[in-house]
Structure 1
Amino acid sequence: MSLDTVKHASETPDSEQPWKELGLKEDEYARIREILGRRPTGAELAMYSVMWSEHCSYKSSKVHLKQFGEKTPVNDAMLVGIGENAGVVDVGQGYAVTFKVESHNHPSYIEPYQGAATGVGGIVRDILAMGARPVAVVDPLRFGAADHPDTKRVLPGVVAGIGGYGNCLGLPNIGGEVVFDSCYQGNPLVNAGCIGVMKHEDIHLAKASGPGNKVILYGARTGGDGIGGVSVLASETFDDTKPAKRPAVQVGDPFQEKLLIECTLEIFKEKLVAGIQDLGGAGLSCATSELASAGSGGMRVDLEKVHLRDATLSPEEILMSESQERMCAIVEPQHVDRFLEICEKWDVIAVVIGEVTEGERLEIFWHGEQIVDVPPRSVAHEGPTYHRPFARPDWQDALQADDAGKLPRPQNGAELKDQVLRLVSSPNQASKSWITDQYDRFVQGNTVLAQPEDAGMVRIDEETNLGVAMATDGNGRYAKLDPYTGAQLALAEAYRNVAASGAKPLAISDCLNFGSPEDPAVMWQFAEATRGLADGCLQLGTPVTGGNVSLYNQTGETAIHPTPVVAVLGVIDDVNRRTPIAFAEEGQLLYLLGDTKEEFGGSAWSEVIHQHLGGMPPAVDLDREKLLGEILISASRDGMIDAAHDLSDGGLVQAVVESCLRGGNGARLVVPEGLDAFTFLFSESAGRAVVAVPRSEELRFTDMCGARGLPATRIGVVDGDAVDVQGEFALSLTELREAHEATIPGLLA
């Protein structure tokens, strides 16, 4: 087959092209022809198809995402916001932290190990591209029913992939979640996050400026793996009724990535780059078009110079390949030799593939023949924008009217005891140590909090003990009942978790996982959740610095629950002042902070005991969340509390059981006046935490809460070797530990 050059395309306007097979719509193909004034070449068609995919262009979501910019709260910490590889915030002492969460959902279902591993690799390179050293990863995960046979295929592979890649990189895995629900059957959610640290002056951006500057591709060779992978695969719904687009999943090499990281950091240290971009979704198509689009001129690339693993790859395949462990740098001519020297030192392949030009076009050549001549912005930043129709689904009212508060409740202490045991041993509430023990949580020696703590925390300065914390949260059951409130509850819980650790919340990243945008009901869920998150961030003062949208998460007509996952980053001046969840000393007084109400919609109790989803989720009071956070941070800093645990899934009893098991001490609890034992134990009212207060600090702590107007109710004491709810039941720690820890190994080992 002869090469499809720009000249040939101009001379053969009627040649048929596989635009539909590449995921383009008819009007999109017509728009490409209009932009170019001719039909595209095969290489141009490949570039537009991957860059205009849902995953890369956000064509269905960006009309809603602009709220994150319009409603950005005033925050002096923000250094780099939405639009770059990752957001960057100032954490003091001259340090900046960059962080982001992204999805790798569909590849992880097709090939669990490599899908999850390359998800970690991709997010790490995003952080690296900002100029930062990656210091920790997190992994919010969602799987189908815990006892479903396919979960036993997908989950172990995903966990092994995350652990295998992250452990080989020497990055501690400090947080995340594992949630089971049948709605994720056939469409697991594998979200991955990373935190990186740098000095302010080391921030790098993805742009190609300066005519004559060289374009250098470095890292692994380019192969046939992942062609159209995350870009096209993540823009399609799995459907058993027709051949699905399931291209090869990317293949990761963590040892190559480790070399790439160290090589890049040395290059940064010597200030050799004028712009940089990692190669992730859409590969070279993305890197070249985005660098040129964000720069001041054009770019010329000689594609035959790319080092290949497979010599048979066509130019189109090279441009679409999503082979891992690759970066693209813009380097001034006088720095090229030194750049290549450093790459050689680290055994990283590097080659000059082009240069920045005076013009305004991205031009790509193959052995001297021009195969691409496009305005780079039209590829990278001016793709389609869809105003998808959205409408509140007709079943929403009935779902909300099916009130969980009407479900049968335990009538005596024996029934309460039985239901507590069932709750703490249920897959979602049981210990996840079988999973997290496969991750290295303490490599590098700077991890001070990790799973199962409320937030992960790492020290970033060994002299001052400055640290950062991160928590990720999201409850698809809440969001199914009310997407607006559900998104705010995810934000509130992650915010609360960070504050409970003693860190001050600064900013958020998000990963918005939803079904098909072509379904008006799903689009309504997305619009409501996005609006809720933007409004919530404005109220809490935590800007969205970046994130990811993952759509088409459904099998056939069945969509997942709307699942907005929120990652909150916080800063703590001294990690020695951190607050763990463990009830570590007998005699500590237990206080319940916040108001407990009859709120069971979407609750763990309704799911575990009654397999029910209905009603309204807990109400959100973000002013109360802010106040609670301030109290938790102040109490941690001033030594007024020894432990804190937020109340969320499973309510008070779940939190108390976890804190008792973590510390190896029991607790005697007294049901407060005005509450029945059931509501006291199982309610999932938001804006609450349980804290352990040393007796010597009780008066100072309660005075602070009273002065600030935060309800603080003494509910018991750390004591004995059981969770003893006075007048109702007692459960020994031995019995609770067996119930809590046996479930996941029993299902998966």
Structure 2
Amino acid sequence: MSLADSDRELVVSELGREPTRAEAALFENLWSEHCAYRSSRPLLSAFDSEGEQVVVGPGDDAAVVSLDDETYITMGIESHNHPSYVDPFDGAATGVGGIVRDTLSMGAYPIALADSLYFGEFDDEHSKYLFEGVVEGISHYGNCIGVPTVAGSVDFHPDYEGNPLVNVACVGLTTEERLVTAEAQEPGNKLVLVGNGTGRDGLGGASFASEDLAEDAETEDRPAVQVGDPYAEKLLIEANEALVDEDLIESARDLGAAGLGGASSEMVAKADLGAHIELERVHQREPNMNALEILLAESQERMCYEVEPDNVDRVRELVERFDLGCSVIGEVTDGNYVCTFEGETVVDVDAYFLGEGAPMNDLSTADPAEPETDLPDVDLEDAFEAIVSSPNTASKRWVYRQYDHEVGVRTSVGPGDDAAIIAVREAEQGLALSSGGAPNWTDVAPYEGARAVALENATNIAAKGATPLAAVDCLNGGNPEKPDVYGGFTGIVDGLAEMCETLSTPVVGGNVSLYNDSVAGPIPPTPTLAMVGSKDGYDAPPLAVEPDGDLLLVGDLGLEAGSPRLGGSEYLAQFDGSDAFPDLPADPAAVVETLAAVANDDATLAVHDVSHGGLAVALAEMVTEDAGLEVAIPSDQPAGALFHEQPGRALVQTESPEAVREAFDGVAPVVELGSATDDGRLAVDAGRTLTADAAEIRDRRGTIERELE
């Protein structure tokens, strides 16, 4: 590890001396892109993070949003991209562990997880290896700690081959009385380290996450990957709950990037305070660890608590009941951030300078090129089969059936639907959760594609009868020092911020992951959005149709301009074409609000978002063995109408078509497509008739299961 020359000059000027080895390493990690957001922070002011429902916004371990006067939820999201390339199982597993501890540090109990995963082309053996390892890591850790994974997404794109993305979100539950933050409260309070012993795993993880992946990363960077212990995390969850129950915690921070040095310095920096830490007091699981290793190791399942002196013995008693380690390592002060090791001072710096002093980068941008229109000429039936069976649009059942999505008995609607519904009985509300991105969209049009990602997640929530409440984002990009890469990243930030503001949905927190670049090149600019919405009660209209009722399309067939725009579609990805990205609805907020109201209407039988794979895939997903569909597409451009992916559209099966038309009058067009049948067969008249029964559709959509089992 080494501190950049320009940063070293700044540190020397502030300290009035050369930094110690431990100080230099601490600055390198805390001033890394991963921790300091040096390239992205100047852009993040675009997000609107305020609202009457927002209790704690960006800057803490997780955001806090109110459901009612007494019930709060927490929201957080993080990436574990580079570690998951080097060691897919442990990299993904510890990503889950980290976001759950972010939830604990707010005094909340974790109630739901969502994972959004991005890999290289599915038919590539290395991509399959990473995919299988990541899913196994997430399922192992989440299942062991008893937190249901209820939502998420999986995308395959050739530009993730050298650098997959693993983005994990967590929702927790707390109250005003139980709320804890990461801001230290009072000099003289003790700092108590709780959890697993500290080892040498994960050293330099923050700086590792702030560099492009090298060709030999899978072997050379393995020591920077943390190793998780979900059984210890489960004990930590319950111990944290006991500590919160007895009001023993003044502030808390989980040990993630930059380990103890990062967590403890950030706690006191938030309050413009200091700390004195005796590193030899840290309970360790490996012998002969030096000061730098103790300070920066990213060993998992550890929390740092601020505790009043009179409560330390009770904290120790409770923690030992759960068979976890407990060390009183120092105290909060009103001076510098000081760490000693066996009587020698190894760190003595101003905590605020350490946490906030990194200079921001001033980077050049280049606008992405506008795509040309080059549409393939493909047989309609061949196209339908290819799109429905594509790994991007096929069933993700192979993934989510490995997750225990019902543990905790709160899951009312589980994975495989547009959005999950979690029963928050404390507030008598259903909490809808949707998480995902769309690399095909943001690759062809970063700004418009990001707007579409936000709208699609909101539409998913509205399809379950909920209205958007808040969101957190994970902004993934390549090397920002490349103007075209930084231009694309700027586009996804602005697009996501603009649409979330349009939807009156505050972005209350998030994560940035840059330098997702490898010898294969940069990833597409990839914004993952995890959005929650609320509704009265826990029931929601199903995705699948019933045997009787009219089917309507709310939204655009794309015929107004003569031919639908196919840019960013799976159709063009499959058949090597290009086109501009489709226009979005004129009033997306009204579309979302109206769709939620229609979804809750007693006459509504089923609702399904139309997005990836377009109308063709949405229709196929609604058919079951007991209920089919007969529809007609009024178009002389059937491929465009069936496969374009304009978001903000939905299929609604209803007993009252006129009521749906009336609800959307002046908001969005409503097209009558056809009706449901009882024969379990899809028949689409698009100039020629495409037919498939439920068994054929299930077989075509089973691409991932068929290849991996």
Structure 1 residues 241 and 329 mapped into 2: Cα distance closer, same or farther (>3 Å)? closer
Equivalent residue for 2:557, pick from 596, 621, 628: 596
Structure 1 residues 93 and 724 mapped into 2: Cα distance closer, same or farther (>3 Å)? farther
**Alignment correspondent of 1:733:** 694
Alignment map for 1:196-235 (pairs within 5 Å): 196-229=172-205, 231-235=206-210
2:14 counterpart letter in structure 1: I
1:551 positional shift: 0.7
Q: Percent identity?
A: 39
| Aligned-CA RMSD value | 1.7
1:664 positional shift: 4.3
Q: Quick check: 1:640–1:701 contact (8 Å CA) kept in 2?
A: no
Q: Quick check: 2:84–2:134 contact (8 Å CA) kept in 1?
A: yes
**SS at the partner of 2:248?**
coil
**Alignment correspondent of 2:123:** 147
**Alignment correspondent of 1:389:** 364
1:744 counterpart letter in structure 2: I
2:632 counterpart letter in structure 1: V
Cα distance in 1 for partners of 2:323, 2:215 equals 44
Q: Deviations over 1:589-637 (max 9, x none)?
A: 11100122102011111112x133x32222223x532122112211233
Q: Deviations over 1:162-181 (max 9, x none)?
A: 00000001111111111111
2:707 counterpart letter in structure 1: L
**Alignment correspondent of 1:580:** 542
Equivalent residue for 1:611, pick from 576, 585, 592: 576
Q: Quick check: 1:471–1:497 contact (8 Å CA) kept in 2?
A: yes
Alignment map for 1:171-320 (pairs within 5 Å): 171-229=147-205, 231-240=206-215, 245-320=221-296
2:338 counterpart letter in structure 1: E
Alignment map for 1:69-468 (pairs within 5 Å): 71-72=48-49, 75-92=51-68, 94-229=70-205, 231-240=206-215, 245-359=221-335, 361-392=336-367, 396-397=369-370, 400-401=371-372, 403-404=373-374, 406-409=375-378, 415-461=379-425, 465-468=428-431
Q: Does 1:33 align with 2:2?
A: no
Cα distance in 2 for partners of 1:416, 1:241 equals 44
Q: Quick check: 1:425–1:739 contact (8 Å CA) kept in 2?
A: yes
1:342 positional shift: 0.9
Structure 1 residues 113 and 492 mapped into 2: Cα distance closer, same or farther (>3 Å)? same
Q: Quick check: 2:182–2:253 contact (8 Å CA) kept in 1?
A: yes
**SS at the partner of 2:604?**
coil
**SS at the partner of 2:223?**
coil
Structure 1 residues 285 and 340 mapped into 2: Cα distance closer, same or farther (>3 Å)? same
Q: Quick check: 1:473–1:491 contact (8 Å CA) kept in 2?
A: no
Cα distance in 2 for partners of 1:524, 1:246 equals 31
Cα distance in 2 for partners of 1:619, 1:698 equals 26
**Alignment correspondent of 2:561:** none
Structure 1 residues 615 and 175 mapped into 2: Cα distance closer, same or farther (>3 Å)? same
**SS at the partner of 2:602?**
coil
Q: Quick check: 2:565–2:582 contact (8 Å CA) kept in 1?
A: yes
Q: Deviations over 1:173-213 (max 9, x none)?
A: 11111111111002111111111011123221102221211
Q: Does 1:67 align with 2:67?
A: no
Q: Quick check: 2:461–2:533 contact (8 Å CA) kept in 1?
A: yes
1:241 positional shift: 8.0
Cα distance in 2 for partners of 1:664, 1:236 equals 53
1:269 positional shift: 1.2
Cα distance in 1 for partners of 2:158, 2:637 equals 32
**Alignment correspondent of 1:705:** 664
**Alignment correspondent of 2:454:** 491
Cα distance in 2 for partners of 1:228, 1:489 equals 36
Q: Quick check: 2:440–2:570 contact (8 Å CA) kept in 1?
A: no
Q: Quick check: 2:442–2:449 contact (8 Å CA) kept in 1?
A: yes
Cα distance in 2 for partners of 1:477, 1:733 equals 28
2:366 counterpart letter in structure 1: A
**Alignment correspondent of 1:626:** 589
Equivalent residue for 1:668, pick from 615, 627, 630: 630
Q: TM-score, with normalisation over the residues of structure 2? A: 0.96
Q: Deviations over 1:53-97 (max 9, x none)?
A: 1101111111111222xx44x521111111111111111252111
Q: Quick check: 1:132–1:203 contact (8 Å CA) kept in 2?
A: yes
Q: Quick check: 1:209–1:296 contact (8 Å CA) kept in 2?
A: no
Cα distance in 1 for partners of 2:521, 2:246 equals 52
Cα distance in 1 for partners of 2:672, 2:618 equals 16
Q: Does 1:715 align with 2:694?
A: no
1:557 positional shift: 6.2
1:701 positional shift: 2.9
Cα distance in 2 for partners of 1:190, 1:92 equals 32
Cα distance in 2 for partners of 1:745, 1:602 equals 25
1:327 positional shift: 0.3
Structure 1 residues 198 and 41 mapped into 2: Cα distance closer, same or farther (>3 Å)? same
**SS at the partner of 1:232?**
helix
Q: Quick check: 1:450–1:456 contact (8 Å CA) kept in 2?
A: yes
Alignment map for 1:535-554 (pairs within 5 Å): 535-554=498-517
Q: Quick check: 1:46–1:319 contact (8 Å CA) kept in 2?
A: no
Equivalent residue for 1:49, pick from 4, 15, 28: 28
1:40 counterpart letter in structure 2: P
**SS at the partner of 1:240?**
coil
1:325 positional shift: 0.3
Q: Quick check: 2:273–2:351 contact (8 Å CA) kept in 1?
A: no
**SS at the partner of 2:443?**
helix
**Alignment correspondent of 1:680:** 641
2:365 counterpart letter in structure 1: F
**Alignment correspondent of 2:708:** 748
Q: Where do 5+ consecutive residues of structure 2 fail to align? A: 559-563
1:495 counterpart letter in structure 2: A
**SS at the partner of 1:642?**
strand
Which deviates the most, 364-373 or 551-560?
551-560
Q: Quick check: 1:298–1:356 contact (8 Å CA) kept in 2?
A: yes
Cα distance in 2 for partners of 1:155, 1:126 equals 25
2:550 counterpart letter in structure 1: L
Which deviates the most, 378-387 or 116-125?
378-387
**SS at the partner of 1:247?**
helix
Cα distance in 2 for partners of 1:737, 1:162 equals 26
2:380 counterpart letter in structure 1: L
Equivalent residue for 1:649, pick from 612, 626, 638: 612
How many residues end up aligned between the 2 structures?
A: 700
2:396 counterpart letter in structure 1: K
1:498 positional shift: 0.9
Cα distance in 2 for partners of 1:630, 1:522 equals 35
Q: Where do 5+ consecutive residues of structure 1 fail to align? A: 1-20, 410-414
Q: Quick check: 2:162–2:519 contact (8 Å CA) kept in 1?
A: no
Cα distance in 2 for partners of 1:638, 1:419 equals 35
Cα distance in 2 for partners of 1:241, 1:298 equals 40
Cα distance in 2 for partners of 1:90, 1:684 equals 34
Q: Quick check: 1:448–1:459 contact (8 Å CA) kept in 2?
A: yes
**SS at the partner of 2:698?**
helix
Cα distance in 1 for partners of 2:294, 2:23 equals 12
Cα distance in 1 for partners of 2:431, 2:636 equals 37
Q: Deviations over 1:356-378 (max 9, x none)?
A: 1132x001111121111000011
Structure 1 residues 477 and 698 mapped into 2: Cα distance closer, same or farther (>3 Å)? closer
Q: TM-score, with normalisation over the residues of structure 1? A: 0.91
Cα distance in 2 for partners of 1:617, 1:246 equals 40
Q: Does 1:691 align with 2:652?
A: yes
